[in-house]
Amino acid sequence: MAQVIRLEAEEAKRLKNDTAFQKFVENVREDQMKIFAESSASDVDVREEAHSIVRALNQIEVCLDAHISAETLLNRKQRK
């Protein structure tokens, strides 16, 4: 189990530190925010989809942070 946690944390760190990945995520987020901001009042479906994509990107970042935090907690428990 500890090995899985460490592996997932390393992968998460690699993604968070990958400038190409971060740029891609930021570009997608900006595109979706622009779609949201420029939509007309009747474009409910367009806004909902853009909002869903932004929420998904946020969830990806939360998941990456959770894997990194899990490793930090594991390291602290093993030191005691």
Note down the domain range covering 10: 2-79
User: What is the share, in percent, of the chain residues with pLDDT greater than 90?
Assistant: 92
User: Quick one: DSSP state of residue 40?
Assistant: -
pLDDT tens, the chain, 80 aa long: 999 999 999 999 999 999 999 999 999 999 999 999 999 999 999 999 999 999 999 999 999 999 999 999 999 998 87
Q: Which of 76, 79, 74 is nearest to 9 (CA)?
A: 74
DSSP H helices, 1-80, are 2-17, 19-38, 44-79
pLDDT in tens, 5-15: 999 999 999 99
Tokens of 68: 């990194």
Say what the pLDDT of residue 11 is.
97
Say what the pLDDT of residue 13 is.
98
Rounded to the nearest integer, the mean pLDDT of the chain is 95
Domain count for the chain: 1
